[in-house]
Amino acid sequence: MTSVATAPVRPARRPRRRAPVLVAISIVVLAAAAVLALIGGWLAPDATKGDVLAVGLPPGVLDHALGTDIMGRDVLALTIAGAASALAGPVVVALGSMLIGIVLGTLAGYERGWVDLVVGRVTDLLFALPVMLMALVVAGLLGAGYWTTVLLLIVLFSPSDIRIVRAGVLDQTTRPYIEATQMLGLPRGRIMFRHLLPNVVPLIITNTMLNIAFALVSFSGLSFLGVGVPPRAADWGRQLADGRELL
């Protein structure tokens, strides 16, 4: 008999893990933005004051690292001071919409029946409304105030939170521990918000983080269009609009 020589099997290469690096970079960027939002007013207290003798300067001229805008204001100082308005609104929107999502999504997922039907129809209606268009319409009717825009975005962002929480609650209602609490005769409110809801927290945190990013984009876009932030205020979206005029 002849023996067949076999080549040694090389272990397959493991795919490179790039996700932790991207996560670390994202955390650093978000942390830097959060720090600017907290101490931006202290670092650049006079960011909105302009100098008529320093209008439209390029970067690096006369101690202006990023140059000046059409009103002679330092662009770097505006960027630092604008972090607060650019991040505060999106965070409030994400938390407010998630609060609505927690209440309505939990009720719809646990109670089912007519409660689920009504919440589902309202959610479908809100999903059909374009965010930017509704913001422009409401700004024309009620005024382009900052907190008016925040309240509107809370309502328009809530449908996704309602559906996410409802889906998580529906998945938990069939678990044995929920059946055990029902057999013990515990009140529905206690079952929903004390025993069931904590198991949906990972979904809640994930969707809240996503909504902060989406709300930041929406706020910047609305500020660029002149809605939500007063003219010449320190805001990232407003800076883009002013920069377009300069170009």
The tens place of each residue's pLDDT in the chain, 247 residues long, gives 455 555 555 555 555 555 577 767 767 877 777 787 777 667 766 766 777 677 777 777 767 777 777 677 777 778 787 777 778 888 899 999 999 999 999 998 888 888 889 998 999 888 888 877 887 787 777 766 778 888 888 998 999 999 999 998 888 888 888 888 888 888 888 888 888 888 888 889 888 988 888 888 888 777 777 777 776 777 777 777 766 766 6
Q: Which two tokens stand for residue 9?
A: 């099997």
Given this model, what pLDDT does residue 14 score?
Answer: 54
Tallying the residues shown for the chain, one arrives at 247
Rounded Cα gap, residues 213 and 94, in angstroms = 9
How many CB atoms are located within 10 Å of the residue 167 CB? 14
Tokens of 146: 């900052």
For residues 144 and 151, give the distance between their C-alpha atoms in angstroms, rounded to a whole number. Answer: 12
pLDDT at 116: 87
* Beta-carbon count within 10 A of 30 CB: 14
Domain spanning 36-246, CATH class: mainly alpha
Tokens of 89: 């609104």
Task: Encode the chain in three state secondary structure.
Answer: CCCCCCCCCCCCCCCCCCHHHHHHHHHHHHHHHHHHHHHHHHHCCCCCCCCHHHCCCCCCECCECCCECCCCCEHHHHHHHHHHHHHHHHHHHHHHHHHHHHHHHHHHHHHCHHHHHHHHHHHHHHHCCCHHHHHHHHHHHHCCCHHHHHHHHHHHHHHHHHHHHHHHHHHHHCCHHHHHHHHCCCCHHHHHHHHHHHHHHHHHHHHHHHHHHHHHHHHHHHHHCCCCCCCCCCCHHHHHHHHHHHC
Take residue 61 and report the two structure tokens written for it.
């001229």
Joined tokens for residue 247: 């170009």
194, 187 contact by CB (below 8 A):
no
Distance CA 117, CA 23 (A): 39
pTM: 0.75
